[in-house]
Amino acid sequence: MFERRPIYRETAKQYQKASKKEKMEILDYFVRITGLKNRNYAARLLRQHGKTIYVGKKNYLKADIAKKGKRPGRKKKFGEEELKMLKQVWEIENYMCGKRLKPILNEVLDNLLANGHLHGSPQAIENLRHISASSIDRLLKHERKKLEIKGRKGTKPGTLLKQQIAIRTWAEWDENCPGFMEIDLVAHEGGNSRGDFAQTLNMVDVWSGWTELVAIKNKASKWVREAIEKVQRRLPFELRGIDSDTGAEFINHPLRDWCEKNQIKFTRGRSSRSNDNCYVEQKNYSIVRQNVGYFRYDTEEEVYYLNRLYAYLRLYANFFQPVMKMTEKKRIGSKVQKKHDDIKTPYQRLLESSYVSEAQKKYLTRLYKALDLFHLRQKITACQRKLYSLQKKKNVKNKNLEETVWNF
């Protein structure tokens, strides 16, 4: 580079004195030796070399083609230490976006620091506490890996009692209190819908986003009703209503009679309109599929470990996973404007509700303070690894059985 600088300066002097035809030849030579792709920029450099630009009366700048200007910029506020801790928090919080992570970041840091799972300098921790949502996304953009996997839909329309159960769409949920829940089943058939296989009952409270999960061995209405009863007993609020799709596992006399007996409002969505149950459909992927995958679970041991996983997962999702709810949606010309409320966890929303008793609020607060986020995430991972190991054993067994049949 130092050897080329005199050449650059001499070329600029020749260019400024040359004729139009000679300038074209000099410019070709200059572009070739510098590797510049923009000829207009190269010509401007050659023209301005040696010229003086006055700034005020005394100060001036002199252009030099051989000198490389230094761009002004701010000093980096977040270094490797902050990035390392942010990655740890991001992984524990299940790789959520910056907008959802920022409102709960201080609470997560407090939990990890109190339990001795996060180590860093006080200055780095203080910097993380003041980081913005856009900075979180910018720092983690190279770490993100998106996997798009589409599942199968195993719901079959049920005709029994359809006319007797009222239809309710997502746009008609206007309750301002917890207790009205959308319910759905997630099938774990693994691409093979023959025989019995496990199902996950997913129940989501529309107002707060509180999520409950129960694994059952098949989609018989008896197990579905028992799972709903189990969820009802452990909810921190009163179950006021359920809204399902049109599957026969929900649309049946026993479940309708149970709802009437317990004064629970029972409604359903329209056939082939998944958006009518948008709250639970969203959780089917973000909570169920992302944590248990698309394998086939059809043994009692697998159902046991699914429920063990869900026992930890419900605490993780309800106490440490923020929910962003849309409050308004309107179209202005070709654009759609959406407004959202403050990003909060289901636990935080329940604490603000006047429909939740003070005793339940105190219980939730004690439970939240007793939770260790790092250990909770470890237990979830341990259950996931156990389920995966059961899948590997099952695949080996099926492969050996297949080889035995072919050899016979």
pTM equals: 0.70
157, 271 contact by CB (below 8 A): yes
Final residue of a structural domain among 16, 36, 62: 62
**How far, in Å, CA of 318 to CA of 315, rounded?**
5
337, 223 contact by CB (below 8 A): no
327, 207 contact by CB (below 8 A): no
Q: In what order do the strands lie in the sheet with 166-167?
A: 166-167, 265-268, 241-244, 180-187, 199-205, 211-216
Into how many domains does the chain fold? 3
Between the CA of residue 76 and those of 82, 87, 92, what are the distances in Å? 11, 18, 25
**How far, in Å, CA of 358 to CA of 345, rounded?**
18
Final residue of a structural domain among 102, 123, 139: 139
**How far, in Å, CA of 322 to CA of 107, rounded?**
11
145 lies in some domain: no
Tell me, yes or no, whether 17 and 43 share the same domain.
yes
**How far, in Å, CA of 151 to CA of 145, rounded?**
19
Q: Is 54 helix (H, G, I), strand (E, B) or coil?
A: strand
Tell me, yes or no, whether 305 and 363 share the same domain.
yes
Tell me, yes or no, whether 118 and 237 share the same domain.
no
Tell me, yes or no, whether 125 and 257 share the same domain.
no
Tell me, yes or no, whether 102 and 214 share the same domain.
no
200, 171 contact by CB (below 8 A): no
DSSP state of 195: S
Per-residue model confidence (pLDDT) at position 61: 61
Q: Is 42 helix (H, G, I), strand (E, B) or coil?
A: helix
Per-residue model confidence (pLDDT) at position 386: 94
CB-based burial label for 246 (10 Å; 0-12, 13-18, 19+) = buried
Tell me, yes or no, whether 123 and 240 share the same domain.
no
31 lies in some domain: yes
Per-residue model confidence (pLDDT) at position 408: 33
CATH code where residue 177 lies:
3.30.420.10
Strand partners, 344: 323
**How far, in Å, CA of 50 to CA of 65, rounded?**
8
Tell me, yes or no, whether 102 and 186 share the same domain.
no
Tell me, yes or no, whether 121 and 14 share the same domain.
no
**How far, in Å, CA of 47 to CA of 63, rounded?**
10
Tell me, yes or no, whether 56 and 109 share the same domain.
no
Per-residue model confidence (pLDDT) at position 313: 95
List the structure tokens of 176. 């301002």
Q: In which residue ranges of the chain is pLDDT below 50? A: 1-2, 146-150, 157-160, 170-171, 401-408
148 lies in some domain: no
* DSSP string across 73-114: -PPPSS-HHHHHHHHHHHHHTTS--HHHHHHHHHHHHHHHHH
Tell me, yes or no, whether 234 and 371 share the same domain.
yes
Per-residue model confidence (pLDDT) at position 31: 84
179, 238 contact by CB (below 8 A): yes
334 lies in some domain: yes
Q: Cα angle at 266 between 265 and 271, to 5 degrees?
A: 150
Give the pLDDT confidence of 320-367 residue by residue, as tens digits: 999 888 778 888 888 888 888 888 999 999 999 999 999 999 999 999
Per-residue model confidence (pLDDT) at position 63: 65
23 Cβ contact partners less than 8 Å away, ≥ 6 residues apart? 15, 43
Backbone angles phi, psi at 140, to 5 degrees: -100, 5
Nearest CA-CA partner of 190 in 104, 289, 52, 70: 289
Tell me, yes or no, whether 248 and 311 share the same domain.
yes
Per-residue model confidence (pLDDT) at position 310: 95
68 lies in some domain: no
152 lies in some domain: no
350 lies in some domain: yes
Final residue of a structural domain among 121, 139, 157: 139
Per-residue model confidence (pLDDT) at position 59: 63
**How far, in Å, CA of 369 to CA of 386, rounded?**
28
Per-residue model confidence (pLDDT) at position 328: 81
153 lies in some domain: no
Per-residue model confidence (pLDDT) at position 171: 46
Q: Which residue has the tokens 């009163």?
A: 238
Tell me, yes or no, whether 237 and 306 share the same domain.
yes
Which residue range forms the structural domain that includes residue 84?
80-139
Q: Which residue has the tokens 């992927």?
A: 285
